[in-house]
Amino acid sequence: MATPIKSNPILTGADSRRFAKAMENPPKISPEKREQQRKAFEWFKKAAQFPL
């Protein structure tokens, strides 16, 4: 039988403010990096097409 998943601790104080700020302002990704990630995604998507 599987072990139950424990709940995560709740962020409070400075940690919660830092987390909220990070979620509002994600880091910028250069166009070159974005293109590299897109190519990797397409490769994995093509590799994961299994016959039914």
* Residue with the two structure tokens 């910028």: 28
Which pLDDT value is given to residue 21? 94
Q: How much helix, strand and coil, in percent to the nearest 5, is found in the chain?
A: 55, 0, 45
pTM above 0.85, yes or no: no
Which pLDDT value is given to residue 49? 80
- Do the Cβ atoms of 25 and 17 come closer than 8 Å? no
| 9-43: pLDDT as tens digits | 899 999 999 999 999 998 899 999 999 999 999 99
Show Cβ contacts of residue 37 under 8 Å, excluding neighbours closer than 6 positions.
Answer: 29
